[in-house]
């Protein structure tokens, strides 16, 4: 790095209070970010990424202490500044984009006023100038630069628009350095693609430096110049992005990249997943990764390994990196078999769900008909607001359909769960997206698992609780723990176990992998595949991650604005012909070193809404024919194999328009992992 860095982290060590003592969470981390550079920080949950990010803002919660090191920015050590000094730097020179814009934005203050507050706090006295600057910022991030948009509240914006507001807030005072902590986690692939394209465009135009913290390696490869890989609080590898993905040196980096689900892969199997999970309380004195490493020696457990040069601009903390042969791909090239599920378990017939009543009612899903077979994994995909979760809530009885019927095993279900019999409730169970919110923080894991047992079966023995934990590969000792004593992946396993103890026929899985890092995600996917084979439980699997869907699903339904666009067997949906919306989703899927196809600019969320008579996708469709798309309901097109697409184009035309490759073999680049 020739130019003087914008910011440098030197020998940083951080601990958090735990009980009567402190636990080290970041150990002697050193790196620097050059002018105009995007430095990516990756690793599993709990590795210390976010702790470093917050330290680069000078954030010091009461339970944390800085044991050693410095963070140098513009000739100042941020760790040595008092509160008034930090207030002058934060927002003005160093800015922050949070993970969850919904909680970061004040729900009671209009979005324009929230940016106005930042400008006023950093010296912009003239109110008119602040309004002009806010409009300029909204235009810069692709939001409507109109006074009426400034008067909206956060809840009146989509998730992508809320994140754009947070980015505008970060850019308000032209900072030299921006910290982005998981800024696209939980966003659907099209919105995610837009945000990344926006950041790439802003970086090119404003020449600002960024620290991009994420667990999504495919997305990171699109934006980062260099990447630092962390494990258990230590930096284990630093490399230019392209070199990291084509020739990873550290065994942990290889495992992370091998855990990424690939949408072009037809085998349905993870390539080389990491063994086990990060257990901080069981770390050896030497290399923290040694217990999970296929190449570890006894010395690795006892002697610490420091970063050492592994080529130009590359460092790796592994003694054996030059000895480790590139592993052969463990994934079979043959396609995973498709399974027919002729016995119908769930039947959804012409279901419409609305929110509100009267002329102002919002139609969330319209005239949906589909079925799920016994033991089948049926995936619902589509961007935020497409109606996926609404349909799951209707199946669960949390919201009653305005029209249509839902039947389980041939028997119609009442609209609301309180009107259903205990047996009907037992047969349909829900696993929610966020286990932090769905698990009672004051109840031990044993109590969380015992409650459905007692409710549905009248008793909850310790043996049943232990068996439930064993089903999801958790030790029986976890029964005595509270949720905050578990990692994110472990909490999600408990949530799955809680859904399974009732012995359901249908499990509703609503975005249960969206907030998990790739290695934990791979372990949960393997768990779901095993449970599916052993238990024969059917799943309604909701996700915006199409690569995950391709690994797990038997059939796929693509929703947009409450309408079905396409439905069919997994590999039919992932092969031409495509519905135009399915095609756009596939092109938006991030993958290592795949260019971002979106051109940036304004969000397409604000595209003209179609009339009730036309196609729901009209106004955003790149293949739109003309007025027929906005005025006439599209017909169903069906292939000989049963794939159904709702579009005015013929199947031959849809096939000829497709540009997304239909890979039949594993990407050759996989062999480098």
Q: What is the pLDDT of residues 52-99, one digit of tens each?
A: 999 999 988 888 899 999 999 998 999 999 999 999 999 999 999 988
Tell me what the mean pLDDT of segment 556-565 comes to: 94
Helices marked H in 564-639? 570-573, 580-588, 627-631
- Average pLDDT of the chain, as a whole number: 86
How far is the C-alpha of 253 from the C-alpha of 266, rounded, in Å?
A: 23
- Is 401:364 a contact under the CB 8 Å cutoff? no
- In sequence order, what E strands does 74-187 have? 76-77, 94-97, 177-181
Per-residue model confidence as pLDDT tens digits over 138-178: 998 888 999 999 999 998 887 788 889 999 999 999 999 99
Cα–Cα distances in Å, from 441 out to 135, 444, 509? 42, 8, 21
Q: Does 459 score more than 70 pLDDT?
A: yes
Edge-first strand order for the sheet with 403-408 is 362-373, 344-355, 403-408, 411-412
User: Band of the pLDDT at 277, cuts 50, 70, 90?
Assistant: low
Beta bridge partners of 16: 23, 64
Cα end-to-end distance, the chain, whole Å: 27
> pLDDT class for 580, splitting at 50, 70, 90?
very high
Q: Taking 50 as the threshold, does the pLDDT of residue 645 lie above it?
A: yes
The pLDDT score that the predictor gives to residue 604 is: 44
- Say what the pLDDT of residue 1 is: 54
pLDDT at position 103 is 82
Backbone angles phi, psi at 530, to 5 degrees: -70, -45
Q: 240, 244, 506: which is closest to 373 by C-alpha? A: 506
Omega within 30 of 0 (cis) for the link into 577:
yes
**Cα–Cα dist 401/416, whole Å:** 9
> Residue 163 CA to chain centroid, in angstroms?
14
Three-state SS for 386?
Answer: coil
- Helix, strand, or coil here: 35? coil
What is the C-alpha to C-alpha distance for residues 405 and 17, in angstroms, rounded to an integer?
A: 54
DSSP code for 376: -
List, in order of start, the domains of the chain with CATH numbers: 103-172 (no CATH), 375-398+416-560 (3.40.50.300), 574-657 (no CATH)
CB atoms within 10 A of CB 411: 9
**pLDDT-based confidence at residue 322 (cuts at 50, 70, 90):** confident
Q: What is the pTM of this model?
A: 0.77
pLDDT digits (tens, 9 = 90+) for 486-529: 877 788 889 999 999 999 999 999 988 876 777 777 778 888 88
Mean pLDDT of 283-299: 90
Task: Give the model's pLDDT for residue 547.
Answer: 83
DSSP per residue, 59-79: ---TTEEEEEEEEEETTEEGG
Backbone region of residue 278 per phi and psi (left: phi > 0; alpha: psi in -120 to 50; beta: other values): beta
Cβ distance 642 to 666 under 8 Å?
A: no
- Does residue 312 surpass a pLDDT of 70? yes
Do 265 and 663 form a contact (C-beta atoms < 8 A)? yes
Position 611 scores a pLDDT of: 47
Can you tell me the distance from the alpha carbon of 302 to that of 192, in angstroms, rounded to the nearest whole number?
42
From residue 522, give the alpha-carbon distance in Å to each of 279, 380, 398: 17, 20, 30
Q: Are strands 226-231 and 177-181 parallel, antiparallel or unpaired?
A: unpaired
CB 112 within 8 A of CB 131: yes
């Amino acid at each position: 790095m020739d130019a003087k860095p914008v910011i440098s982290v030197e020998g940083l060590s951080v601990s958090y209070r735990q009980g009567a003592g402190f636990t080290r969470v970041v150990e002697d981390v050193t790196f620097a970010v050059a002018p105009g550079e995007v430095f990516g920080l990756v690793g599993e949950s709990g590795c210390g990424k976010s702790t470093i990010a917050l330290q680069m803002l000078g954030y010091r919660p009461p339970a944390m202490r800085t044991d050693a090191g410095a963070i140098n920015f513009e000739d100042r050590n941020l760790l040595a500044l008092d509160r008034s000094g930090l207030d002058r730097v934060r927002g003005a020179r160093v800015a922050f984009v949070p993970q969850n814009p919904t909680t970061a934005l004040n729900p009671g203050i209009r979005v324009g006023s929230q940016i106005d507050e930042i400008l006023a706090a950093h010296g912009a006295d003239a109110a008119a100038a602040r309004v002009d600057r806010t409009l300029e910022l909204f235009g810069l991030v692709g939001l409507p630069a109109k006074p009426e948009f400034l008067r909206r509240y956060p809840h009146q914006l989509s998730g992508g628009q809320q994140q754009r507001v947070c980015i505008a807030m970060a850019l308000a005072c032209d900072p030299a350095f921006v910290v982005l902590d998981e800024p696209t986690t939980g966003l659907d692939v099209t919105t995610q693609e837009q945000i990344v394209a926006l950041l790439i465009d802003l970086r090119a135009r404003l020449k600002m430096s960024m620290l991009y913290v994420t667990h999504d390696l495919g997305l990171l490869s699109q934006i980062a110049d260099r990447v630092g890989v962390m494990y258990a609080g230590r930096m284990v590898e630093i490399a230019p992005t392209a070199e990291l993905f084509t020739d990873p040196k550290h065994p942990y980096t290889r495992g992370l990249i091998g855990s990424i689900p690939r949408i072009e892969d037809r085998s349905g199997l993870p390539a080389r997943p990491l063994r086990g999970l990060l257990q901080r309380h069981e770390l050896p004195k030497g290399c923290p990764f040694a217990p999970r490493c296929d190449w570890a020696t006894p010395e690795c457990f006892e002697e610490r390994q420091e970063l050492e040069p592994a080529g130009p601009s590359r460092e790796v903390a592994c003694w054996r990196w030059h000895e480790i042969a590139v592993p052969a791909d463990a994934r079979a090239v043959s396609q995973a078999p498709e399974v027919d599920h002729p016995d119908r378990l769930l039947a959804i017939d012409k279901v419409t769900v609305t929110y509100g009543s009267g002329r102002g009612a919002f139609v969330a899903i319209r005239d949906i008909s589909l079925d799920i077979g016994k033991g089948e994994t049926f995936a619902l995909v589509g961007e935020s607001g497409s109606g996926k979760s609404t349909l799951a809530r209707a199946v669960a009885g949390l919201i009653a359909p305005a029209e249509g019927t839902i039947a389980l095993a041939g028997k119609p279900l009442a609209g609301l769960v309180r009107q259903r019999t205990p047996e009907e409730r037992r047969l349909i169970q829900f696993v929610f997206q966020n286990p932090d919110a769905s698990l009672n923080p004051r109840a031990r894991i044993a109590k969380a698992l015992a409650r459905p047992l007692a409710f549905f079966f009248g008793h909850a023995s310790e043996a049943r609780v232990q068996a439930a934990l064993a089903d999801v590969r958790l030790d029986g000792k976890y029964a005595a723990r509270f949720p905050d004593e578990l990692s994110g992946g472990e909490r999600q396993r408990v949530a799955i176990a809680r859904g399974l103890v009732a012995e359901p026929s249908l499990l509703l899985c609503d975005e249960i992998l969206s907030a998990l890092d790739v290695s934990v995600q791979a372990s949960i996917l393997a768990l779901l595949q095993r449970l599916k084979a052993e238990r024969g439980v059917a799943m309604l699997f909701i996700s915006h991650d199409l690569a995950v869907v391709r690994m797990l699903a038997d059939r796929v339904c693509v929703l947009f604005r409450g309408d079905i666009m396409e439905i069919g067997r997994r590999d039919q949906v992932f092969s031409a012909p495509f519905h135009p919306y399915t095609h756009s989703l596939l092109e938006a899927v991030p993958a290592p070193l795949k260019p971002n196809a979106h051109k940036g600019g304004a969000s397409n969320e604000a595209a003209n809404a179609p009339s009730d008579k036309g196609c729901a996708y009209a106004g955003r469709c790149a293949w739109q024919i003309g007025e027929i798309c906005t005025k006439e309901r599209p017909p169903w097109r069906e292939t000989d194999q049963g794939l159904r697409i709702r579009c005015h184009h013929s199947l031959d035309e849809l096939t000829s328009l497709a540009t997304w490759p239909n890979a039949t073999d594993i990407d050759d680049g996989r062999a480098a992992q």
